[in-house]
Each structure stands twice: as structure tokens, then as C-alpha cells.
Structure 1
Amino acid sequence: MIIDEWSIVAESRTELPYAERVATVLAGQSEPHLLTGEQYLETLADGRRLIAPDGTEIENVAAHPVTSAAASTFAAIMDQQFDPRLREVVTYVDPETNRRKSRGWQVPTTRQHLFARREQIGVTTRQTLGFFGRPPDYGPALALGFLAIIDRVESESPEFAENIRRFVQTAGERNLLSTDLIGDNQSDHRVPRNDRPSTLRVVEERSDGIVLRGSKSAGSSGPLAHMFTLTTKLGEGLGPEGAIWAVVPVNSDGLSLVMREPTVSSGASREDHPLNVNGEEMDQIVIFDDVFLPRECVFNVGNLDLLQLHLDICVFAMWHILTRLSYRAQIFAGTAQVITEILGRENVPGVRRAVADIQLYAETLKAFSIAAITESQSWNGVEVPNPGIVSAGRLHSITNYERVVYLLQDLCGQGLISRWPEKVWDHPEFGPRLEAFLPGVGVTAREKNRFFNFVYDLTASANAQRVALFENVNAAPPAAVAELVYRNPERAKWARVVREFAGIPAESGART
């Protein structure tokens, strides 16, 4: 239930709590709504508590060996906002203020807006090769989902609805980076959900906010973001105190991000690991030790009925994931082509079929992503990618991902195994021998080795394995996505057509 003593009119503040640090960094800049990469890194020095895998605390996200490479990758993405070649793709001019803002925070009201957002996802994916599931342009996805169902929130609490609108507006004005916080931590399922110590819950309701205790899992890019967009899935055994939608500043007092073991070595050279030197998303358990959230940060508390809208809220997130994977599949197809070219195996029928299958995967995901736009729906003035098409595309991306990666590895032959590090190539005796023994078509032996180092990072490294595992459960596991596909109401319409044609009465009892 909603906190009755909270007034409808929020008290006046000069800056929302999740934007204070960024507002300070942006002050006096010629582009007041856009952070440069350098400014972005500066905003991360905000007192957040990050626990490195060795148990020590990270004082400087931009300099620590566990987080610095990924932070630099995100900074490069932020700098794209000022790149004349990319500026019109990754930013837009707000017609109300005539100010340039990040494309990610543009509320899509037309299909053209969705196509522009799709192009932005492509730019980011080319920058990261799709290895970051929660890049800066992904962050607004849940917030846009909240806007799409704003009528339901408004009917329960006009104040919470206004908090959502103000959050989206402020995030766009401050170029904020967000990331999801959805999943409960894996625990003993024999224990009722409300009785598990890990379950995040409200332990105190106050007129000026709420206090949270418990945990959430896999914040992914949490160490690199300014805030978490927090939602709770409805499930058996969850009580009203666990029904929470909110924005949680990463530097909140009492919030700790405890990171897993890294899969990428901080000392690797770019020649030996051309992709992994860009860093990785350091998944973490996010622990709430009586974290206070001001009421401006709260979108729902205590209302279990609203949690039934979880899948509607996640539609933008699911479409972003599908679209990123469609671009990543094009990268896979391009990689397959280069493999065949430098090995001189383009005319081998089995090789051509493998490349064709990888290309088919890429084109199919592209078709799903675009079709979701061309059959989009308007929810409360927000243009939403078609949920049925998104779910089908997401399921296709999951179920075929492993096979496509296998095909890439198979095309490489011994190339993924027979690789030598930079120092061996620099060796005065053995470097020249390797050059003589291992040339490719149109490339030197060392260039071929460098390319297969890239393919190794892309498909077989520990980081690649982590990404593959992540993609399998990202937003929802395969079984849950399959259930969404099964529930697609479009099938019922065609079932009625079939019944009518076959002369079978509609009331026969068959499931539709």
C-alpha cells in the first residue's frame, strides 16, 4: 500500500539527490547537458563504496586496475557526444529548450525516434563489440518503461508518477548513467522469499523517504553508473515491504558494491588481447545496510499489484538487448568473413555454409529489431517496440547464440590455439622463424596472430565465456522468454481463423 502521510506536492529542491555531483561537474560548461569523457570520470569520485575482489576498497574508479579499463571505455562512449561524425546519432536537440542532450534520454514518441535510438545502439556496439550489456545508452530503458505505464502509477499515486517524470527530465539534463537492479540473489528457495535475509525490503517508512535493507545481484555496470534503477519482480512469498520501484544513487550511504573475480588481466597488452584491454562489466552483489532514499527517488512502495506490470516496464530493456545482439551478430558475420579470407578457404563449401549460417543469424536478429519498430505501439504517448516481436527475437538470439560462437571457433581451426604473445614475436631468434612459418593470405604471420588474438577474446576468453553466460540470462532466462512467446495474443487471432476455416467451433475448449 502507498505511504499515506506523503503529501502529493514534493518539497522544492534545487537539485535532485541523484544529480548533485554531476550538476557540480557540469556547472559553467558550454554544453550544460552533456558530459565529456573526462568529466564523466570526474563524476565517479562521489564517495561510492566499491569492494574489489581482493577485499580492499576502491578509492578511485578511474585509476583502479579492476575498474579503470572499463571506465575508460565508458568515457570514450561519452566523448562520442562531441564527435562531429557521431554527434547527430548519439545526441539530439530538445525542441523545448533547444539544448543538445543524450539520445538515450529522448522519450520516443514516434517510430522515427526508435529508429534513431537503434542507430545509437549500433554506434555503441561498434565501440565495445557488444561486450558491455549495460552501456550508457542502455541505462534509460527501465525509466522509459516506467513512463510507458505512467497511467497506472498515476492512478495509485500522482506523486510517484511525478517523481518518474522528473527523474527522466533530470537524467536527460544531467547526462546521467543508470543501470538496472532487478534480480534477487540466489538463495535457498525452500525459505519463503520474505523470510530470506537477502530479500530487499522497506524496513522504515518516513514522511521524507524510505529505508531499505537487503541485497540485489549482478549490478553489471554499477561501479560505472551514477545510479541504479531499481525494480522488484512479483513472486510467491513477497510481501508489500518488498514491492519497490526507485532510483538509488550509487553513492548512497550504507550501499556497498562487492565485486566478483575479474576475467580480464589488467596487465595484458593490446596486441595480445585487443578486445579485453577495454575492460569488462564487474558484476557485483549490491548490499543495502539501512539505505535511506528520499521520497523524490521513490516510484512505488508497498503496491504489489503494480509489480504485475514488470514485463511491460522491461520492454525497452528487452528491445535494447535484442538490438545490441543484432549488431553484435553482424560483427560475428564480419569476423567469419575475415577468417575465411586470411586462411584462403572462401571456396570450401562447408566453410561457405558456416559463414552463411552466421550471416542468417545476423539478418534474422536485424529483422526482429526493425520489425519491433515498424509494428510499435503507443502507450501513454510513448512509442514502444512491439512486445511480441521483441520476445520472439530475444528467444531466437538466446537459443542460437552458442551455435554461432561454435561456428566461428570451428572456422578458425588451429588459429585459436596456436597463438604466441607479443614478447615471442619480438624475440630476435624466434620472431623471424614464426614470420616465415605462419603467414596468412594478404597478412603477415604476426598480423594473422593478432587477428586470432582478437577472435579468441571475442569467442573463447574467460571474458567471452562470462558474456555468453550473461546473455543467456540477461533480463530473463530462456524459459521465461519462451513463456512470453507462448503467451503472444497474436496466435489466438489466427487460431480463430483456422477454426473458422476448418469448421471447428470456437467453444471447443482448445487453448487460444
Structure 2
Amino acid sequence: MTIQNIAPADDAERLRISKVTEQLEQSGGHLLTGEQYKASLRDGRRIITSEGEEVEDVTTHPDLRAVDTLAGIQDDQFTAEGQDILTYVGEDGGRRAIGWQVPRTREDLLAKREATKFITQRTMGMYGRPNDYGAMMALGFLSTIDRIEAENAEFAENIRNFVKLSGDNNLLSTDLIADPQSDKNIPRNERPSQLRIVEDTPEGIVISGAKVAGSIGSLAHFFTLSTTLGGGVGPEAAIWAAIPMNSPGLSLILREPTAKMNTPRNDHPLDHAGEELDQTIIFDNVFIPREYVFSKYNLGLLDLYYESCAYSLWSVMTRLAFRAEMFAGVAEVITEILGTDKIPGVQAAVADVTMYAQTLKAYSLATIHESVEWCGLQVPNPDLTTAGRLYSIENYPRIMHILRDLCGQALIARWPEKVWDHPEFGPRMEAFFPGTGVSAREKNTFFNFVWDLTSGAHAGRVALFENVNATPPAFVRHLVYSKTDRSAAARRVRDYVGIS
């Protein structure tokens, strides 16, 4: 296959993050402000909305208004409240985003956990791929770098350089793993959608095909790609790499938004801030410069999902732990406003939500205190991470049901701001629907928030995402069985009983 309109050396230079680097050089640091982050996204990337329209500027399109939330977190890196949580001081004395710190100690992991807490509280946990998440897949590559080194020392060095590049330039990344659902009667390697190398040159590789999800990709700088999860592919489909979002031939087709738009904040407190949009990612002869290639043709890496995703999956579980703390707070406020907090059955329901939060907190901390060392990195204990993920996603629907049940009619009896502003009916609503210690309008706004969190279309999408993002329970249960070492305990039992 012939590459059309590709001049590798020129494109390799253009695909470098020169624009970001220039901004950082001007500011004399390694951190992007919110406005600098937004400016870095105006780089010629191709984004298509669910209406089939080309997005001219991802920083102003209403479907992508989540950019303001991400930009706000970038600004938090410079505040007295956020600086010491979201950044660390590098060896050169400059501050960098904590996500890109290579964790050599358990204290480093605890610092990442605190950043996840801070960001989860900022986003109310509605984003699965916030600012600090992007480093996780690259750190997973680093933690398994011995496998890469055995294949090609240059690829291993590319991974190290990418982590440094991303930390030096405050980049946002998101991982790319899942293939499009397709006719399983067609062998995987024969499907038109299968992402594969179509040309290999000294300057880099060219890939074509498709991937799905890549959440927040339209607002990130790079995809980190790894081919894992199952066989059935040929060597040309085994690829680990970093892919700049503005690569020529790369198109992101956004799914339909679920968060309500053009409504007052009080009507939809969570939807108002936008959402994390997934997409289908189509590759038409996309050139990946040699320095962004981490592995190719290595079928031996196809089974490395458990290991290469160790940080990513820990980040998912840790974020869910902090979401669970928020759920416990929501349950408390529901019962206080409704005046039901003294009812034994209600207290038992709140206790169930609290136990969910406390259990996930225990998992989150235990993964760090029993971390393991891989290739010189401290890795959150993957066995405990897997068990925590299974607990989190199996119980998530039950917790959502409890929160909805605690609300009673309050989730149904909600009205938009226009009703409350009505000269005739507004005052009557105020008189009819007050809460305990809050006005009727304040009560209404709170339950609008609970609706967005538990019941609206956006909440439904987040629930589906959490289930798939943390890997479906049946697969995780198999990992708990196959990856957790029970041999020592079994041996002690046999020894005690006296059987061989």
C-alpha cells in the first residue's frame, strides 16, 4: 500500500507538541494553565459530531463543554489549595503534573491517590478519564518494560522518552484498547475494522482500521494504544504506540450527548458541566513517527492486559472509592432534607451506602500498602485492585437503587427554574414543598442534582461506562480466580490436616 500525502520527516516534526512546548517555554515551567491547555487543542485535529458536522474548535463546541472542567483542573495546579496535591517538584526544581510522576515508593502512590480524590471532588466523579488518568497506561508500559526491552531496546527507550515528554509538557492522554463490535463469524484478523500496520518505514509505521471509546480523546493530546484482550489477530495488528490527536488521517466521530444542554445550572447541576464523550476512532493511513512506536508485531504482548493496565485499573477503582464517599454524603443529605434520618429502615439503607464507601476505601489503601515492585516501579497490588473493581461494579447498581429509593417522590416532584420564577405558581410551590431546614427551591435544586447523579440519561451512560470501564464482572471474576495466588494458604491447610 502506498502512503498518500505523507512526508514523514516533516510530519514527525509537525506532530511533535511544538505548540505546547512553545507555550511552556514562554511561561518558564512545565505546567499548562487552563487557557494554555485550551490553546494547545486548536491543532487541526478532526472531530465529527453525532450530527455529522465538523468541529471547528473543540474548546467552544457545546457538545465538548467538558473542556472547561478539565481546564479548571489545569488552573488548580497553580492554586494554594491544589498545587501540592496536583503537582510535584522534579529533580530540576520545576513542578510537573503528579500523574506523570514515576512511582518509585508507596508515598508516590499515596500522592497519586490524593490527586484522584481532589479531581473526583471537582468532577463529582462523572469523568472516567480526567486530567490525571492519562499517565496510567504509559506507566503500565513502564512497569512491564522488561518485556519491551527483550523485544527492542529502542522501543523501551521510546516509552521512557514519552513519559518524560508528557511530564515536561503537562500532556493529557487517554488509552485505546477496545475494538468495534463486529460480526464474530468473521475472523478478527479479517474484519475491515481491525486496526493493523499497513506499511512499515524507517521513519515510522502507518496504520489503518478503527477503535472505539477512547473517552475524552477529543480533548486530550495523545492516545496510548495497546492491542490486548484476546487472540485471533496477526502480527500486523499487535501494536503499542502513542498517537497524536492531530495526526493526519485520524478522525474521531463523537457519540450522541446524554447530558442536557442549554438549561439553567439549577435545573441540571451535573449535566450543565458537560460530559465525557466517547467516540469511534477511524484510522486512514495514519503515520506514527518512529519515536512513538513502543512495540510492533509482538503477539506475546496480547495477554498482558492484567499487567499493562495495572495502574489504569487501579485509578478506576480508586476514583470509584471516592465516588462512593460522595454517594454516602448524598444519602446523608437526602435524609436530612426529607427529615427521614431517624427512621430505622432509612438508617439501615444509609449504612449500606456507607459500607460500600468504607469497603472501597479499604481496598484503595490496601492496594498501596501491599504494592508490588515491577521493573523498579511501585505498582498498586493488582490482585487487590481486581477484587476491589469486582466489588465496586457488582454493587454499583444496588447503591444507585438505594439512593433513588431514599428520595421517594422527590425525584419525581421536580420543576425547572421557569416554574419557580412564575409570578403566580412560584410562591405557591415555595409554600407547598419546603424541605427540612431548606427552602422549597433549594430542595428542588438538590434533587435535580440527585437526578443527574442517579437517574438521567447522563447518569445511565456513566453507569454503563463504569461497568465496561472497570471490565465486565464475569471477566473480572475470572481474573480474581486465575490471578490470585491461593497456593500458600492451601498448603497450610493441607499441612495442618496432614494430607499431601
Within 2, Cα distance between the matches of 1:103 and 1:268?
Answer: 35
The question of 1:36 aligning with 2:38 is answered no
Deviation at 1:20, TM superposition (A): 2.2
Are the counterparts in 1 of residues 230 and 303 from structure 2 also a CA contact under 8 Å?
A: no
Give CA-to-partner distance per residue, 1:288-341, whole Å, 9 cap, x none. 001000110100000111222221010000100000000000000000000010
- Give how far 1:18 is off: 4.1
In structure 2, do the counterparts of structure 1 residues 283 and 24 end up closer, same or farther at CA, with 3 Å as the change threshold? same
Q: Tell whether 2:319 aligns with 1:337.
A: no
Match of 1:23 among 18, 21, 24: 21
Q: Structure 1 residues 253 and 16, CA, compared in 2 at 3 Å: closer, same or farther?
A: closer
State the distance in 1 between where 2:449 and 2:128 align. 19
Helix, strand or coil: the match of 2:431? helix
- CA apart distance, 1:155: 1.4
Q: In structure 1, list runs of 5 or more residues that go unmatched.
A: 1-10, 506-512
Q: Distance in 1 between matches of 2:359 and 2:168?
A: 36
Secondary structure (helix, strand or coil) at the match of 1:245 reads: strand
Conservation of the 8 A alpha-carbon contact between 1:245 and 1:299: yes
**Could you say what secondary structure the match of 1:299 adopts?**
strand
Offset, 1:394: 0.3
- Matched-pair contact (CA < 8 Å) for 1:18–1:227: no
**Secondary structure of 1:228's match?**
strand
Query: In structure 1, how many angstroms separate the alpha carbons of the residues matched to 2:154 and 2:15?
Result: 17
8 A Cα contact 2:231 2:302, kept in partner:
no
Offset of residue 259 of structure 1: 0.7
Q: Shift of the alpha carbon at 1:237?
A: 1.4
Residues 136 and 311 in structure 2, CA contact (< 8 A), matched pair in contact too: yes
Q: Does 1:476 align with 2:471?
A: yes
What do the CA deviations read for 1:402-449 (whole angstroms, capped 9, x no partner)? 000000000000011100000000000000000000001100000000
The aligned counterpart of 1:73 is: 69
Change in Cα spacing, 1:18 to 1:309, as seen in structure 2 (3 Å) is farther
Matched, 1:392 2:390: no
Q: 1:485 aligns with which of 480, 484, 489?
A: 480
SS in 2 for 1:59: coil
Equivalence for 2:461? 466
Q: CA deviation at 1:489?
A: 3.6
* Match in the other structure for 2:115: 120
1:178-208 alpha-carbon deviations (Å, 9 max, x no partner): 0011101100111110000011000011111
- Residue 201 (structure 2) aligns with: 206
- In structure 2, the partner of 1:142 is 137
SS in 1 for 2:81: coil
1:51 aligns with 2:22: no
For 2:78, give the aligned amino acid: F
Moved over 6 A (4+): 13-16
- Deviation string 1:149-177 (CA, Å, 9 cap, x unpaired) is 11111111000000000000000000000
Q: 1:19·1:176 contact (CA, 8 Å) conserved in 2?
A: no
Partner of 1:317: 312
The alignment partner of 1:230 has SS state of strand
SS class of match (2:303): helix
* SS, match of residue 162 in structure 1: helix
Q: Which moved more, 1:464-473 or 1:480-489?
A: 480-489
- Which amino acid in structure 2 is aligned with residue 193 of structure 1? R
Q: Is the Cα contact below 8 Å between 1:16 and 1:296 reproduced in 2?
A: no
The correspondence of residues 162-173 of structure 1 with structure 2, limited to 5 A, is 162-173=157-168
Distance 2:110 2:136 in 1: 15
Counterpart residue number, 1:367 = 362
Q: Secondary structure at the match of 2:483?
A: coil
Q: What residue in structure 2 maps to residue 417 of structure 1?
A: 412
SS in 2 for 1:402: helix
Conservation of the 8 A alpha-carbon contact between 2:331 and 2:406: yes
- Is 1:267 the counterpart of 2:262? The answer is yes
Residue range with higher mean Cα deviation, 227-236 or 240-249: 227-236
**3-state SS of paired residue (1:185):** coil
SS in 2 for 1:464: helix
The aligned runs of 1:136-285 (5 Å cut-off) are 136-285=131-280
Size of the aligned set, in residue pairs, is 492
Contact kept, 8 Å, 1:18 with 1:248, in 2: the verdict is no
Deviations 1:64-90 (A, max 9, x none): 1111x2000110111110111110000
Whether contact under 8 Å (2:389, 2:470) holds in the other structure is no
**SS of 2:56 mapped into structure 1:** coil
What does residue 3 of structure 1 align with? none
When the two chains are superposed, the root-mean-square deviation of aligned CA atoms in Å is 1.5
Contact (CA 8 Å) 2:228, 2:301: kept in 1 or not?
Answer: no
Shift of 1:401: 0.2
Q: Distance in 2 between matches of 1:410 and 1:109?
A: 45
**Contact 1:211 / 1:290 at 8 angstroms: preserved in 2?**
yes
Structure 2 CA distance for partners of 1:14 and 1:295, relative to 1, 3 Å: closer
User: Aligned to 2:99, what secondary structure does the other structure show?
Assistant: helix
The separation in 1 between residues aligned to 2:329 and 2:241, in whole angstroms, is 41
Q: Is the CA contact (8 Å cut-off) linking 2:393 and 2:470 kept in structure 1?
A: no
2:4 corresponds to which residue?
none
Distance 1:329 1:294 in 2: 42
**Once the two structures are aligned, what percentage of the paired residues are identical?**
57
Give 3-state SS (helix, strand or coil) of 2:351's partner: helix
One-letter amino acid of the structure 2 residue matched with residue 28 of structure 1: Q
Segments of structure 2 that go 5 or more residues without pairing to the other structure are 1-8
Task: Write out aligned runs for 1:413-452 (5 A).
Answer: 413-452=408-447
8 Å CA contact 1:34, 1:174 repeated in 2: yes
